[in-house]
Structure 1
Amino acid sequence: MRWWGGTSSDTARDGGTGARSGTGGWTVVGPAVRDTALWLALAGVALVWFVGHPESSVALELVLPLAVLAVAIPGRRRWPVAAVFAVNALCAIGLAHPVTPANAYIVALAVSAYLLGTGPTTTRSALPAFGGCLALDLVLCAALGGGAVWWYYTLTAFPLLLLVPWLFGRYWQAQLAFVRGGWQRAQLLERQQRLVAEQARLRERTRIAADMHDSLGHELSLIALRAGALELSPTLTGRDRADLGELRAAVSEAVGHLRDTVGVLRDDEGDRAAAPTDESVEELVDRARDSGVTVDLRRDGVPAPPGLSPLVDRAVYRVVRESLTNAAKHAPGGAVRVRITHEGGRTDVRVTNAAGDAGKSLPPPGPVSGGHGLTGLRERVGVVGGTLRAAPRGTGFEVAATMPDRVGQDRPLRESGAVTDPDTESCAESGSESGSESGSESVRQLTTARRRARLRFAAAFVVPGGFGLITLGSAAYAAFQLATCVLRPADYAQLQVGRDRAEFANVLPARQFPYVSDSVKARPRPAGTTCAYYRSSGSLLDQVDVYRLCYSGSRLVSKDVVPGSGSG
């Protein structure tokens, strides 16, 4: 049960100190404050009831019960079943009341059962406890010789007060667990998403290092080759040849170090996924067309600007390749338009695909992406100082990248691990393998929690509802029986002994009182007579006087009043 934003079990785990809820952010009040407030509320109900029943015992029905509640309320955390037993015993005290079996502690019993449902007690422990409480109530009712109303109250009110609040408590506990589990799962998925994005960025940086090796290593190899050629020149002195030899050796050693460093960074999966670094965008588009993809490529400006950095060139290639791959995967059969513009020292790449044909499937034009292509593209474009935007366009999708032709030192700094354009992940990343696995696990956990909450909801509403309908039906029938066997005191006073029954039959009730106790039937009566019993009031829970009319044949022989036995 949530009191001021926390459950009783939550507070026990928090050590009774004020805290903040991890999901709702509500303040959790200490257990002593909550217990005191609960005791005061139940004591107020008991005091109001006691004032309305002056015939009740102060010690037995006020002082002793409040002392028991003062122990049972805080003790429910350690002994929840014993607390329910104690409060049930307070309700059972009402069975000894001379006027009514009901007392104010039925509210405390309902609250105790509810708290039992919100706690850690299992069904196997709770249901036998309820059975023990009901058995105690029935034994006490039999020992005190309760009337029919007392038995009816014991068989209906006590089970309802125990079962219904307990079922509501279990449903509320399942609902809270469902909400808490959803928040925890969402936080876990967010952490996993950040880790996956970071892995994609690191993998892309490794590929950038490989591209740097291929481009820079090629340039260094050319330098070493030219140094070797110059070393053979006949016009050089011995000292010049020695310097060129050292230069060529140093360049060769640098190439070897570069190859070793990139080899450590590169993994097998990245090597297999990488396309040949000497392939151009035009060759990539030709391969896509051979695979059945309709591609329109157009370059504006200088086809190959002299100042275009190899890293920018590879970034352009990666943007086109990833866009074609996503188009073939998510929009098969749709036309793709590729526009590359070199102008003003910047390169713009824009790849737009139309909506695909759902019934058509085409193989991707390049290596299949690992499901995080946009994350890798954003990292690839970002490290060269560019920006990437990917979003739906009309019925299709568009990827647009803008990069400088040269990679300078004035590139914008980006926060590590930050997602610069979160709305771009929604379309092309839906096929992520790891995301699918996380989603499947989320679906399984969500389905289990939802099923548990629904079952407890059904138990909390349907079962008590059916039980309540049966109880209300039987109560209505019993009330009808008691209400139709009432002989008004004024009519009873007008009845005269010796008169024939037909003379006053019009004032007699439609039926006799059906729940006459054996002790009333055993009272002395005139010999040879038959007696009829009627209640003096229509009160259902209070004891009322019973009128006994004894007949000899159809003549009224005697009439008398049996005090306080009209409830059974």
Structure 2
Amino acid sequence: MPGLCTVPKVNPSANAPGPPGESRRHRVRDAVLWLVFVAVGVLWYRDAHDSSLWLDLVLPVTVLAVAVPVSRRAPVVALGLATLVTALGLSHPVSPATPYVLALAAMSYLLGARSADHRRALVAIAACVAFALVLCALLRVSILAWFFMTAVLPVALVLPWLVGRYRRAQRELVRGGWERAESLEARQREAEEQARLRERTRIAADMHDSLGHALSLIALRAGALQVSPALTPEDRAKARELRAAASDAVEHLRQTISVLRDGAEPDSGVPADETVEALVDRARASAVEVELRRVGEVPELAAQVDRAVYRIVQEGLTNATKHAPGAPVTVEIIHSPDAPGETTVRVVNAAPAEGPLTGLVPGNHGLVGLRERVDLVGGALRAGAHAGGFELVATLPNQPVFPSQKAGDARGRALPSESTRQLARARRRVQLRFVLAFAAPVVTGGVMAVSAVFFAYQMLTCVLRPADYEAVGVGQERAEFAAVLPAQQFRYVRQDMRSAPAPTGSACEYYRSNGNPFEEVDVYRLCFVDSRLVAKDVLSAGSPDRSPR
């Protein structure tokens, strides 16, 4: 109906290419939906009277075969096609109620779920109802058809559209929430990355101090060698060149580190060669109750590892004084012979006076930078609540290992983000709640549907057509007309009908004269004696008296 329902504006997101295989899934879903419509139409056509194969089955399912896939890009057009199919019921000689109201409701739901323009959708629904009413007036249909079009049709259009619109809003709400969560997660990752970069800058500064000190010693020794009287003029020239090269290296290193320091945090004023013992002494001088324990023989540590040990103790003391002021702190540096080549640093503070700590402090990027420093030398860091206080434990190799910085699993594949994992868990919870909330009603409705189908089956398989009843004559053997008798007898005969007089010694069978299960109809009674028909009667639905034939 091009004049009835216009094509809506195309949603760019709806036409965007989806993931591989999504198009195939759409085709499968459309095919299943169309097959449901076909099955309903076939079942209705089998039991309908005075129905046309082409008008009541072939034409509707053909139109719906076009409407179902069209509903993805132009749901308003699909709704118009479904309205046209439903309006074909007006021409039915028995009843305007057709099974294709289900297709109309489905297209209305898809309109609400796939179209964001609610004004255009409401105009389309109103146009479809107006079209049906105009068609009723032109065809001069019965009162029953008017009731169907004014009551059933608007309900089948409006309610499913509201449900589809709610479903669309729910999807958009969930999608917007998770997009915000991913944005916040990206900001958090950016902040952590900045903390790592700052820590790397500090590491570079530490290396400048240690390496610059070593190069300065080389230059000093070269200068002493230059003035040695035991050297020849040629050797003194080489020593002079060595001293100049060492001095140039120190200057180049200073310039490089100055570039890295640009925009970084200001220097704390702490000497680069300060030891852990000196750090602990400074903390004690600041009224911090701290105990330092060294276990095992101190091995030779690489400069990066030694500086990492210092930074771990420094960060542990900083966190303790910041989040648990007044609580005693224990610092342990363990060089265990059971784990040669490793050094364990443990900083533990007791519970503060205000109560036990709950874990990591949000936004504490000091631990992020510290973890970066530990990772760079191939170590492992663990931080968390411990006995009401807080514990910081790091295991470091005595010589740096330089592990790979690529994040992923054992096979090198990228690990899913935290928001992705949370979204998967949320979806599972929603699905579980949906099942729990709707399981009981669905089961109850299923039982009622099965009962209704069984009842309808019994009503429709006990109908003896009036023409077949007229063709049966008294005195015939049952075998002569057994082919026209229904598959089963009518089981729900009223008691007054069963009590109607019957020939003595006969066995009577009862059959319905009409397949409508929702109204009282005449009942045909056939009475047999030794498989010979001795009487046939029409038991009227309006009166218990029989009408012998």
TM bucket normalised to smaller: 0.5 to 0.7
Q: Which residue of 2 aligns with 1:390?
A: 383
Structure 1 contact 91–106 (Cα < 8 Å) conserved: yes
Q: Normalised by the size of structure 1, how large is the TM-score?
A: 0.60
Q: Which has the higher contact order (CA 8 A, sep 6+)?
A: 1
Alignment of 1:346-425 (within 5 A): 347-358=343-354, 371-405=364-398, 407=399, 411-418=400-407
- 1:540 to 1:82, Cα distance in 2 relative to 1, 3 A: farther
Deviations 1:194-253 (A, max 9, x none): 666555444433322211110121222233234334544556554444333222212211
Q: Distance in 2 between matches of 1:274 and 1:117?
A: 66
Alignment of 1:38-117 (within 5 A): 38-117=33-112
Q: Which residue of 1 aligns with 2:314?
A: 321
Q: Distance in 2 between matches of 1:195 and 1:157?
A: 57
- 1:56 to 1:333, Cα distance in 2 relative to 1, 3 A: farther
Structure 2 contact 377–397 (Cα < 8 Å) conserved: yes
Structure 2 contact 355–388 (Cα < 8 Å) conserved: no
Amino acid corresponding to residue 104 of structure 2 in structure 1: L
1:295 aligned to which of 290, 298, 319: 290
Q: Does 1:137 align with 2:132?
A: yes
2:25 aligned to which of 5, 15, 29: 29
Q: Which residue of 1 aligns with 2:257?
A: 262
Q: Distance in 2 between matches of 1:369 and 1:234?
A: 65
Cα displacement (A) at 1:350: 0.8
Q: Which residue of 1 aligns with 2:223?
A: 228
SS at match of 2:39: helix
Structure 2 contact 198–264 (Cα < 8 Å) conserved: no
Cα displacement (A) at 1:48: 1.9
Amino acid corresponding to residue 349 of structure 1 in structure 2: V
Structure 2 contact 356–389 (Cα < 8 Å) conserved: no
Q: Does 1:159 align with 2:129?
A: no
Amino acid corresponding to residue 377 of structure 1 in structure 2: L
Amino acid corresponding to residue 317 of structure 2 in structure 1: L
- 1:137 to 1:272, Cα distance in 2 relative to 1, 3 A: farther
Structure 2 contact 351–388 (Cα < 8 Å) conserved: yes
Cα displacement (A) at 1:326: 2.8
Structure 1 unaligned segments of length 5 or more: list them.
1-7, 22-26, 362-367, 421-434, 462-538, 545-568
Alignment of 1:484-495 (within 5 A): none
SS at match of 1:269: coil
Cα displacement (A) at 1:357: 4.4
- 1:348 to 1:80, Cα distance in 2 relative to 1, 3 A: closer
Q: Which residue of 2 aligns with 1:243?
A: 238
- 1:189 to 1:149, Cα distance in 2 relative to 1, 3 A: same
SS at match of 1:29: helix
Once the two structures are aligned, what percentage of the paired residues are identical? 52
Q: Distance in 1 between matches of 2:277 and 2:76?
A: 78
Q: Which residue of 2 aligns with 1:284?
A: 279
Q: Distance in 2 between matches of 1:293 and 1:419?
A: 41
Cα displacement (A) at 1:86: 2.4
SS at match of 2:264: helix
Q: Distance in 2 between matches of 1:112 and 1:263?
A: 68
Q: Distance in 2 between matches of 1:274 and 1:47?
A: 88
Structure 1 contact 384–403 (Cα < 8 Å) conserved: yes
Deviations 1:390-433 (A, max 9, x none): 3432333322223355x3xxx4452213389xxxxxxxxxxxxx
SS at match of 2:89: helix
SS at match of 1:338: strand
Structure 1 contact 332–360 (Cα < 8 Å) conserved: no
Q: Distance in 2 between matches of 1:133 and 1:541?
A: 30
Alignment of 1:525-564 (within 5 A): none
Cα displacement (A) at 1:329: 4.2
Q: Distance in 2 between matches of 1:239 and 1:9?
A: 80
Structure 1 contact 299–341 (Cα < 8 Å) conserved: yes
Cα displacement (A) at 1:149: 4.8
Aligned length: 415
- 1:290 to 1:56, Cα distance in 2 relative to 1, 3 A: farther
Structure 2 contact 377–402 (Cα < 8 Å) conserved: no
Amino acid corresponding to residue 397 of structure 1 in structure 2: F
Q: Distance in 2 between matches of 1:139 and 1:133?
A: 10
Structure 1 contact 99–543 (Cα < 8 Å) conserved: no
Cα displacement (A) at 1:307: 3.5
Q: Which residue of 1 aligns with 2:469?
A: none
Q: Distance in 1 between matches of 2:12 and 2:99?
A: 27
Q: Distance in 1 between matches of 2:171 and 2:143?
A: 42
Structure 1 contact 72–87 (Cα < 8 Å) conserved: yes
Amino acid corresponding to residue 256 of structure 2 in structure 1: T
Amino acid corresponding to residue 29 of structure 1 in structure 2: R
Structure 2 unaligned segments of length 5 or more: list them.
1-10, 410-416, 439-515, 522-549
Cα displacement (A) at 1:166: 1.9
- 1:105 to 1:351, Cα distance in 2 relative to 1, 3 A: same
Deviations 1:362-401 (A, max 9, x none): xxxxxx9984333432332344454433343233332222
Amino acid corresponding to residue 387 of structure 2 in structure 1: G
